[in-house]
Chains A and B, each alone.
Chain A
Amino acid sequence: MRRSNIIYHIINAVIFIALELTALSMLSNNSELQNSWFSNGSQTFMKNIWGFSQNVNQYFSLKKRNDELALDNHELRVRVAQLEAAMADSHVSEIPEQSKEMAGKFRYIPATIAKISNNTHHNYMILDKGTAEGVVKGAGVITGKGVIGVIDAVSEHHSYARSFKNHEMSVSSRLGKDGFIGPMSWDGRSSSRAILKEIPHHAEVTPGDTVYTSGFSTIFPADIPIGTAGEAEIVNGSTYEIEVILFEDFGKLKYVTIVENIGRKEIEELEDEI
C-alpha cells in the first residue's frame, strides 16, 4: 500500500513537472518580458550552483594545493640561496631597488579566476584584478606551469583574458632550453595538448623534451615551462609539427599571475615607426 502510494506521488510529480514546464516554455516563447525574466533567473540559478560546486571542489583540493605551495616555496628558497651564492661570487652586494611586484623587465600581479570557459573553441576567463590594480590590456596571464592567456579587456576591478585554449592565440615557444623556436597553439580538441609548429625538419626532436616560452614576444617572459614534447610529424616535407602535452590543467585553474612587460609600449612604438 505504502509502495503504491509512493509510485502514485511520483507519477503526480512527473506529470505536474512535465505540464508546468510545457506551460512555462509556451509562456516564455510567446512573451519577450517573461522570456528574459526566465533566462535571467536560470542564469542566476546556474551561477549559484556553479559557484557552490567550485567552492566545494576548492575545499577538497586544499591539501593538494598546500603541498604544491610548499614545494614551490622550497624551490624558491633553493633558487634564492643559489642566487645569493652567485651574487657573492660575482661581488654584487645588493639588488637594484624595485617595487615588490617588479622582476627585471616584467611586473607581476597575482590574480584569481572569477569565471572560466573551457569547453568551446573560443575560451576565455574573467580575472578579479582590473585597472585599479594596474592591469593593462595586452598583458599576459601565466602560472608556474605554463601560459594561460592574454588580457583582452579591462574594467576597474576585473579583466577579461583570452585563454590559451582559443584558436586565435599562439605563443612563441622553444623546444628545450636552447632548441628551435616556433609558434605553439592549442590543438582545438584535447584539454591538455597543443601543437608546436614550424620546427625545421633537421631539428632533433626527442619525446619528453620540455617546451618553454621563447621570450621572443612582448607579452611573456622567457623560460616558463609549458609542457613536454610528444609525437612529431613532418608537414609539407619541410617542418615538424610537434604535439605538446601541457603541464597546466585548465580544468583545475584558480590562481594565476598577470605579467606585464614594462618595455612593451616602447617596443611597439618602435615597430610602428618602421
Chain B
Amino acid sequence: MRMNQNFGLLYVLMLLCQIALCNYSPLGPYIMLSMLPVMVFCIPLKVSTPLCMIIAFFSGLSVDWLSEGLIGINAAALLPVALARKGIIRIFFGEDLLSRNDSFSFGKFGALKVSAAVSTAIAVFLAIYIILDGAGTRPIWYNLTYFGLSLVCNWLLSLLVTHILTPDDRK
C-alpha cells in the first residue's frame, strides 16, 4: 500500500517535471525529451492494461494542455506504450514476472535488459509522436535524425526515471 502511494506521488511529481521540461527546455528542433513513456512503462504490473491506458491518456492530455504542444499528441503516442507494456515486459523479462505481478528493476534484471525494454517503449512513443507531429510534411532524413537523437537522449533520461520509479531501487 505504502509502495503504491509512493509510486502515485512520484508519478505526479514526474508529470509536473515533464510539464516544466516541455515549457522551459530549449532543446532545438532535433531533440524531444519525454519522461512519459518510461513513467507509463514503470506503472506497477498489478495495474491492469485498461487502467494503465486511462492513466496514460490523462497523463498525456495534462502535459498537452499545460505545455505549448499540440493537444492530444502525447496522449495519442502514449496509449500504444500502455497497450504494449505487458508485451514488452513479457519479451524482455519473461512470463514469470507477469504471473507474479512483480516489478522489474536494475538490481533484478541488470542495466542492459532494463535499458533495452525501456528503449523499446520509448521507441514506440517517439515513432508515433514524430509521425503525428510531422503530419507527412517532413523529409524522412529529418524524421530519422529526430528519432535517433531523441531516442539516445530519452534513453539517458530513462535510466534516472526508472531508477526513481522502480520499487527495488528505491529501497
Residues in A lying within 8 Å of B, measured CB to CB: 11-12, 15-16, 19-20, 22-28, 30-31, 33-34, 36-37, 40
Q: How far is the CB of A175 from chain B (nearest CB, A)?
A: 56
Q: Are A27 and B79 in contact (CB under 8 A)?
A: no
Q: Which residue of B lies closest to A16 (CB)?
A: B83
Looking at chain B's contact residues, the main secondary structure is: helix
- CB < 8 Å neighbour of B72 from A30, A37, A40: A30
Q: Does B98 contact A (CB under 8 A)?
A: no
- CB < 8 Å neighbour of A23 from B54, B79, B135, B137: B79
Contacts of B76 in A (CB 8 A): 20, 23-24, 27
Contacts of B57 in A (CB 8 A): 19, 22-23
Contacts of B49 in A (CB 8 A): 12
Q: Are A34 and B135 in contact (CB under 8 A)?
A: yes
Kindly identify, within residues 18 to 63 of chain B, every residue whose CB is under 8 Å from any CB belonging to chain A.
49-50, 53-54, 57, 60-61
Q: How far is the CB of A260 from chain B (nearest CB, A)?
A: 42
Most-contacted residue by chain B among A19, A33, A37 (CB, 10 A): A19
With contacts A12-B50, A15-B53 known, is A34 near B132, CB below 8 A?
yes
Contacts of B15 in A (CB 8 A): none
The interface on chain B, measured as residues whose beta carbon lies within 8 A of the other chain's beta carbons, has a size of: 21
Q: Does B124 contact A (CB under 8 A)?
A: no
- CB < 8 Å neighbour of B70 from A11, A19, A31: A31
Contacts of A37 in B (CB 8 A): 135-137
Q: Are B70 and A30 in contact (CB under 8 A)?
A: yes
Q: How far is the CB of B50 from chain A (nearest CB, A)?
A: 5
Q: Does B71 contact A (CB under 8 A)?
A: yes
Q: Which residue of B lies closest to A30 (CB)?
A: B71
Contacts of A31 in B (CB 8 A): 70, 135
Contacts of A22 in B (CB 8 A): 57, 72, 75
Q: How far is the CB of A241 from chain B (nearest CB, A)?
A: 53
With contacts A12-B50, A37-B135, A37-B136 known, is A19 near B75, CB below 8 A?
yes
Contacts of B60 in A (CB 8 A): 23
Give the docked Cα–Cα distance between A36 and B136 (Å).
10
With contacts A12-B49, A19-B57 known, is A34 near B70, CB below 8 A?
yes
Q: Does B159 contact A (CB under 8 A)?
A: no
Give the docked Cα–Cα distance between A201 and B7 (Å).
87
Contacts of B70 in A (CB 8 A): 27, 30-31, 34
Most-contacted residue by chain A among B49, B54, B72, B136 (CB, 10 A): B72
Q: Shortest 4 CB-CB distances between A and B: which pairs?
A: A26-B72, A27-B72, A23-B76, A37-B135
Q: Does B127 contact A (CB under 8 A)?
A: no
Most-contacted residue by chain B among A20, A23, A28 (CB, 10 A): A23
Give the docked Cα–Cα distance between A199 and B13 (Å).
82
